[in-house]
């Protein structure tokens, strides 16, 4: 039992709340439609993104849900947290997102319970939905898309803990004069939401760099294995 606060476990004995540890809790959510073309060569090879920016956060983490394959990146510049959500341009689906952070101070009035640790920090606030981890999935970027099932009837969002990606330089689409083009083929691990689970695959796009006679073919494999954190967002 925690010396300060309270400890709550589920039916399986897994700790859900512990007064010694601060929890992530939901502080914002929304729906984004990627509309900025960021990388690509032509037609289906374009990727689109939507960037969300927030200030005043402590240790934020964002999870996303999309019926098409998508991924998200995060950056911090001068106190501004930016989250860029990506999907293929030829898909028209929106991306749902949920932003979690350290528990914020509880309101001075109203219903609910706030649990504090020894340092007087709020570790849990019943007015804010908790961060419910469903599991972690590791997947090679080179593997074909595969489904991963969790509890049926639940909705699962996701975020890459380790971004799996690679690129190679090879023949690209089209030609320059009588020479075929050479392009960088970028491949990144992506995730899509399915009923009761997630589907992990990859997306790729070409970036034209010159004609084929100017550049040698090469492969550059980096961070082949992606790690995805799966989060239960049912009814959030």
Q: Say how far apart CA 218 and CA 182 lie, in whole Å.
A: 11
Question: CA 9 → CA 1, 17, 21, 135, 232, distances in Å?
Answer: 11, 7, 14, 17, 17
Q: Is the pLDDT of residue 17 over 70?
A: yes
* 162-190 pLDDT per residue, tens: 777 666 666 655 555 556 666 666 778 88
Q: Is the pLDDT of residue 217 over 70?
A: no
Whether residue 62 has pLDDT greater than 50: yes
Model pLDDT for residues 130-142, shown as the tens digit of each residue: 888 899 999 888 8
> Where along the chain do its domains lie?
1-23+103-131, 138-232
What's the pLDDT tens digit per position in 90-109?
777 899 999 999 877 666 66
């Amino acid at each position: 039992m925690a010396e300060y606060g309270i400890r709550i476990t589920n039916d399986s004995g897994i700790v859900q709340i512990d007064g010694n540890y601060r929890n992530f809790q939901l502080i914002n959510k929304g729906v984004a439609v990627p509309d900025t073309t960021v990388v690509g060569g032509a037609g289906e090879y374009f990727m689109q993104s939507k960037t969300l920016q927030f200030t005043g956060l402590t240790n934020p983490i964002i999870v996303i849900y999309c019926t098409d394959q998508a991924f998200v990146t995060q950056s911090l510049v001068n106190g501004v947290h930016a989250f860029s959500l990506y999907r293929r341009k030829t898909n028209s689906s929106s991306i749902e997102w949920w932003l979690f952070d350290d528990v914020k101070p509880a309101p001075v009035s109203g219903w609910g319970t706030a649990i504090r640790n020894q340092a007087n920090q709020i570790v849990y606030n019943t007015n804010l939905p908790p961060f419910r981890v469903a599991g972690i999935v590791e997947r090679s970027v080179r593997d074909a898309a595969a489904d991963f099932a969790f509890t049926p009837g639940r909705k699962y969002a996701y975020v890459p803990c380790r971004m799996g990606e690679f690129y190679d330089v090879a023949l690209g689409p089209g030609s320059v004069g009588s020479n075929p083009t050479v392009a960088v083929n970028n491949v990144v691990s992506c995730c899509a939401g399915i009923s009761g689970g997630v589907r992990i695959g990859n997306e790729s796009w070409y970036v034209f760099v010159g004609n084929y006679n100017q550049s040698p073919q090469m492969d550059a494999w980096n961070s082949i294995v992606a790690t995805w954190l799966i989060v239960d967002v049912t009814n959030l």
